Structure 1
Amino acid sequence: MANIRPLRRPAAAPAARGGAPRRPAPVLNAPARDYTYDGTFEGLLTVLFTIYDSKAAPNSIQPEAAVQGGLFAAPAPTETNEALAARVWEGLLNTMDPEARTRLYHVFLSEDADREMLIFRYVDLALRSNQDIAENYANADVRRVQRLAQMMFREKHRMEAFVRFEKTQDELYHATIEPDMDVLPLIAAHFTKRYADQRWLIYDRRRHYGLYYDLTRTDVVQFEAGANRKTTDISATVLDEREPLFRLLWQSYFDHVNIPERKNLKLHRRHMPLRYWKYLSEKQPREQRFVPIDNKRPPGEANLRLEKE
């Protein structure tokens, strides 16, 4: 069984504010705190609101599931408030353009160990600067945000290129992935548009959730705790009986377009890193060698081959 909920994304960026003077950022002069939140992006935005509302800078910001409190300080839990989160997300456009704001969401999805404090420092720098900080690469936090956003873009692009589906008996196309970063929210639109005429499920084995498209909309799917999370492949008993043929044909196509004389493994691994090969049908061991059917050859060619043999 699986729990399904609608896929949620940050709200669309409203038009940038025009010329209105910006209020100065509050001075964070209250005693610093260790904040905790529920691990969602909305929860982190609520923490940002709480920081400036209480004027208490963070010593740390940690998901509740991974709290590492100090020796003498008790963490301050922050309950997620979607209305406040939306207010913060919209308010960020007062200090940065939509592209820079999107980078912060990508930093969150990167799962970098310092992502919460990095996002806070970036936002705080933007609030206290009179100029756009997006290209202030003299600042280490700006460089780090840009670097993580670039890494996220590459991971998203590769997942869109390297995901391979298997068809089940009930006409569901299934794929299992294990990316370094949480890319599912970013690739949902691509697969929804590209495969709009078929039901599909992309499951992230590392994060234990997936995307399910039912021909009308794409939802987030979370399996119950008792589900088997160790296997990367669905059982062969539920695959469409033609699936092995589809894999063989794909492997044969790959073999036939390959040019051995132009092999460049170093370049090949740069464009298709080794860690992605487990998703690719063309990189799996060949179960049988592909042999062209003689009666599909041009007239006389089959007989000529037999004479040579």
Structure 2
Amino acid sequence: MSKPIRIPASSVAAPRAARRPAPELTATPRDYTYDGTFEGLLTVLFTIYDWRAAPNSIQPEATAQTGLFAQPSHRETDEALAARVWDGLLKSMDAEARTRLYHVFLSEDADRELLIFRYVDLALRSAQDIAENYANADVRRVQRLAQQMFREKHRMEAFVRFEKTQDELFHATIEPDMDVLPLIAAHFTKRYADQRWLIYDRRRHYGLYYDLTRTDVVQFENSAGAKSTDISATVLDEREPLFRLLWQAYFDHVNIPERKNLKLHRRHMPLRYWKYLSEKQPRETRFEPIQNKQPVAGKEVVAGQKRLPG
């Protein structure tokens, strides 16, 4: 997997340079394929305007579906062209709008490639900023997907639970609806800078590995029938079951049963995340409230009931 293009942290609009009008797409429309990376998609966007041929479809080569007699035009990724397109987008939109396009790509929406093309084409042909042109269906769709990606990113930063192995590696498995690993890398690198960790996306079969100096994208080969994210109990730190028990006990003790609202709880912590949360796993020991309340002055407690002296 290629390294994602770095997204600027600042969302402040950069000054726009003068730009030429976008060329008219007068050639016969084509079907395009690419390698499935964001850089590859940017290369396709450059090709569309270079060839002046609008896309009928833009699909990753590995999963492309074409007609019986259709011959798709495959474009090899050119990182120099991709960087040129990425920088050139700032002539038509601000940095925040450009970032939203990257988030749309990571959303894995079925129509993401054509949606990004239509948004870029609209921006290139508009004299004014289109970011808040919510009368346009594509602008609304881009905004909605970007918001969904933000929520998924926030949940992953909150719901990741690490397990410690015998070799001092902290491992976590996630299975998000969207490809959020590129967006959460900076958060975990900064927050856990003093320990080695691995976050593995089970659905997309790749992960992030931090070795105390840098964070890299890693992939693992799966042996037949094996789950690449399963960790044998023999490789876990011997204290890990205790850590899990302590976390569950903390969760139980801060819980207020009288204020239980399962509907609200599931809205903030969707059910699909529970299988990777320590506090949602079956309890090895039954929860018992801490018996640390002091008797009321002038009274004595017998078998849990209050009785006046004498």
**TM-score normalised according to structure 2 size:** 0.90
2:95 paired residue among 98, 101, 104: 98
| Counterpart Cα distance in 2 of 1:242 and 1:306 | 38
Counterpart amino acid of 2:164?
A: K
Displacement, 1:233? 3.3
1:28 paired residue among 25, 32, 36: 25
What SS does structure 2 have at the residue aligned with 1:136?
coil
What SS does structure 1 have at the residue aligned with 2:32?
strand
Displacement, 1:12? 3.7
Quote the residue 1:244 is aligned against.
241
Displacement, 1:279? 1.4
Unaligned runs of 5+ in 1: none
Quote the residue 2:219 is aligned against.
222
- 8 Å contact from structure 2 (residues 169, 197) kept in 1: yes
Indicate the percent of aligned positions where both proteins have the same amino acid: 82
| Counterpart Cα distance in 2 of 1:171 and 1:291 | 32
2:109 paired residue among 99, 107, 112: 112
When residues 293 and 122 of structure 1 are mapped into structure 2, their CA distance, relative to the original with a 3 A threshold, is closer
Displacement, 1:226? 3.2
When residues 223 and 242 of structure 1 are mapped into structure 2, their CA distance, relative to the original with a 3 A threshold, is same
The 10-residue stretch of structure 1 (68-77 or 224-233) with the greater mean CA deviation from structure 2: 224-233
The 10-residue stretch of structure 1 (13-22 or 136-145) with the greater mean CA deviation from structure 2: 13-22
Quote the residue 2:177 is aligned against.
180
The 10-residue stretch of structure 1 (71-80 or 241-250) with the greater mean CA deviation from structure 2: 71-80
| Counterpart Cα distance in 1 of 2:264 and 2:16 | 49
Instruction: For residues 26-57 of structure 1, give each alpha carbon's deviation from its aligned partner in whole angstroms, at most 9, with x where no partner exists.
Output: 00001110000000000000000000001010
Number of residue pairs aligned between Structure 1 and Structure 2: 301
1:278-289 equivalent positions in 2, closer than 5 A: 278-289=275-286
2:142 paired residue among 140, 145, 163: 145
- 8 Å contact from structure 2 (residues 253, 289) kept in 1: no
Quote the residue 2:122 is aligned against.
125
| Counterpart Cα distance in 1 of 2:118 and 2:42 | 13
Unaligned runs of 5+ in 2: 305-310
- 8 Å contact from structure 2 (residues 30, 57) kept in 1: yes
| Counterpart Cα distance in 2 of 1:293 and 1:283 | 20
The 10-residue stretch of structure 1 (271-280 or 91-100) with the greater mean CA deviation from structure 2: 271-280
Alignment partner of 1:10 is 2:29: no
CA RMSD of aligned residues (A): 2.6
Quote the residue 2:308 is aligned against.
none
Displacement, 1:307? 7.4
Higher helix share: 1
- 8 Å contact from structure 1 (residues 162, 280) kept in 2: yes
Quote the residue 2:264 is aligned against.
267
Displacement, 1:72? 2.6
What SS does structure 2 have at the residue aligned with 1:267?
helix
When residues 264 and 298 of structure 1 are mapped into structure 2, their CA distance, relative to the original with a 3 A threshold, is closer
Counterpart amino acid of 1:72?
A: F
Quote the residue 2:35 is aligned against.
38
Between the two structures, name the one with larger relative contact order (CA 8 Å, sep ≥ 6).
1
When residues 17 and 263 of structure 1 are mapped into structure 2, their CA distance, relative to the original with a 3 A threshold, is closer
When residues 18 and 197 of structure 1 are mapped into structure 2, their CA distance, relative to the original with a 3 A threshold, is closer
What SS does structure 2 have at the residue aligned with 1:223?
coil
When residues 271 and 89 of structure 1 are mapped into structure 2, their CA distance, relative to the original with a 3 A threshold, is same
Quote the residue 2:307 is aligned against.
none
